Amino acid sequence: MTTSFLPTSVERAILHLFEDLGSPFALKVNLLWRAGQWDDVARLSVDPKHYLDAESYWRDATASSIVRKLVELPTTIDRKAVAEENFRISERMCFRTNRRLLPYLSPGLPDTDEGVLRYLTRARKIARRILGPAPDTCLIKENSREGTLRYAVQGRFGPGATYADRGMLTTIPDKMSSSPTITPDARFYHFPWWDTLWAKACASSGRVPSYVQGNRFTTVPKDSTKDRGIAVEPSINLYFQLGYGRILRKRLSLAGINLAKGQDIHRRVACEASISGRHCTLDLSNASDTICTNLVKLVLPADWFEVLNDLRSKKTLFGGSWHLLEKFSSMGNGFTFELETLIFLCLALALDDGSGHKLEPGVNVFVYGDDIIVPTECSKAVIAALSFFGLTVNDSKSFVDGPFRESCGGDYFLGVDVRPHFLKESPNEPQQLISFANGLRRVSSTDSERMACVRRAWFGILDALPKPLRDLRGPMELGDLLVHDDETRWRPRYRSCIRYFKVYRPARFSRIGYGNFKPEVVLAAACYGTGSSQKGIIPRNGVTGYKTGWVPFS
């Protein structure tokens, strides 16, 4: 059977992969594919708890996952509608949790539990110890053991869209050339904003900030069964949200949670835990959308809550009307990731009441967004606490016992990496074919049996490449600029004792010339770090062409 959403050579390679995996489950996927039952293919999954060895699980996981995230898969599922329904469900959950937690904002009321109050007190003390005083947007002084520290919250621009900046017009000069947007509760940030070069660029053309009620809901692709709901923030709010997010990140790092290296740390700990069983890995469903406002108010120190509460959007434009939010902040808010890391860390550490196992961040407790790793003996207490505060542990991605652990994109079965490759886009161009071939090789290069399973598919993908590009072979460290292969197939050149590899790299870019912007905007953008190229600014996804060339590799 041939499909219209994949090149013939790619589909043939996928079918060869199903055949060579050689398991009954892979045969089932093969038959569903040939019958065109795309909804069934998209919903397939495997449970590692049902497997006794790593290789059997890897084969079935590869068969079920290879096209799970392929958004071109022609299912009948309305992925946007699924994301919108998840938004409604999350808001209802937050409403119920807000109502349940309301009495704890005024201790002593009849509906409060003394044990919960003590637990929340510990969580709040931990948050205060990690965060310290909330810095203002102006330079302030802060006392610490190391002496007097000086902090300043400096806003910054993100790479994506804002409430008024959409599509390709999301570069820093574009954002400085449009009318800034801000929510009414963030009006006090007008004053520090007017001291920025961004504000001066706006003043030069007579533009002033406009008030909007909140953010707007939109969706982005996630996988073949659903989209991900996000909220696009007003530009001034987002500018300062990102600044405070950076401060949260720094203070979490001082407490032992290094978010810059968090993914690597979590993968290492998950790998070790799959052997020793000392830690469990927990994953939350719709984590940022189910952190309700009262939970944040109960855990954060008052000064931090006031600052973040002013900067967040309290309403979302959803379905053509404004919706008052029960959640505290959406995915798309500039500090949501750091805030959820802090909240989950404090809830985990607060379980240590001094009478049991010592919990220490970065030692036996690790949090990266909604990926949580805690000692196995604490798992029931952590899950119970998260559930009480309205958070849902994803049972299909959380592992307390058994030989499997998963965290931050790392899947391990008794210490063996069993992460399958996910095809996320239809590979219609050479660079996409190279990426697909390399993905199959990465998940099989350390095991001869795995390599035998993907060999025919790998060669089939390479056959779709023009011969000059097929011959570009080199090490994995160069990424998807070339085809990963054994060292015997490399063809490097040497110049002045430096080794060079021929690669297929981006060569043409859609640029927005500086001549399209006012001089004040160009000056401000340069100070914000847009680069010194005289050719202009490259927008997101601005690559328009590729060519072969040589790059050094030591």
Q: pLDDT tens for residues 373-420?
A: 999 999 999 999 999 999 999 999 999 999 999 999 999 999 999 999
pLDDT of 537 over the 90 cut: no
What is the DSSP secondary-structure string of 338-351? HHHHHHHHHHHHTT
Specify the pLDDT at position 530. 72
pLDDT of 138 over the 60 cut: no
How far, CA to CA in Å, does 426 sit from each of 294, 373, 489? Answer: 43, 34, 27
pLDDT of 308 over the 50 cut: yes
| Residue 533 pLDDT grade (very low, low, confident, very high; cuts 50, 70, 90) | low
Quote the tokens at residue 542. Answer: 């601005």
CA 108, CA 416: separation in Å to the nearest integer? 52
CA 379, CA 479: separation in Å to the nearest integer? 38
What is the DSSP secondary-structure string of 367-432? EETTEEEEEGGGHHHHHHHHHHTT-EE-GGG-BSSSSEEEETTEEEETTEE-PPP---S---SHHH
Strand partners, 243: none
| Residue 150 pLDDT grade (very low, low, confident, very high; cuts 50, 70, 90) | very low
pLDDT of 134 over the 90 cut: no
Mean pLDDT of the chain: 90
| Residue 145 pLDDT grade (very low, low, confident, very high; cuts 50, 70, 90) | very low
Q: pLDDT tens for residues 268-305?
A: 999 999 999 999 999 999 999 999 999 999 999 999 99
pLDDT of 141 over the 70 cut: no
Q: pLDDT tens for residues 27-82?
A: 999 999 999 999 999 999 999 999 999 999 999 999 999 999 998 999 999 999 99
Cβ density class 271-281: b for 16+ within 10 Å, e for less: bebbeeeebbb
Residue 31, C-beta contacts closer than 8 angstroms, at least 6 positions apart: none
Q: What percent of the chain clears pLDDT 90, i.e. is strictly above it?
A: 74
CA 385, CA 182: separation in Å to the nearest integer? 36
512 versus 370: which is more confidently predicted?
Answer: 370
The sign of the torsion formed by the CA atoms of 6, 7, 11, 14 equals: negative
Quote the tokens at residue 224. Answer: 């073949």
pLDDT of 140 over the 50 cut: no
Per the listing, tokens 């795309």 go with 38
Span 256-265, average pLDDT? 96
**Backbone phi, psi, residue 493, to 5°:** -115, 155
pLDDT of 313 over the 80 cut: yes
Q: pLDDT tens for residues 330-388?
A: 999 999 999 999 999 999 999 976 656 789 999 999 999 999 999 999 999 999 999 99
| Residue 509 pLDDT grade (very low, low, confident, very high; cuts 50, 70, 90) | confident
Q: pLDDT tens for residues 195-213?
A: 888 888 888 888 889 999 9
Specify the pLDDT at position 356. 65
- One-letter amino acid identity for 266? H
Specify the pLDDT at position 160. 84
Domain ranges of the chain: 8-66+420-465
- One-letter amino acid identity for 128? R
Specify the pLDDT at position 435. 96
pLDDT of 110 over the 90 cut: no
CA 245, CA 279: separation in Å to the nearest integer? 28
pLDDT of 147 over the 80 cut: no
Span 451-461, average pLDDT? 95
Q: pLDDT tens for residues 460-498?
A: 999 999 999 999 999 999 999 999 999 999 999 998 889
Specify the pLDDT at position 197. 87
pLDDT of 539 over the 60 cut: yes
* 8-state DSSP, 285: E
Specify the pLDDT at position 292. 97
Q: pLDDT tens for residues 216-258?
A: 999 999 999 999 999 999 999 999 999 999 999 999 999 999 9
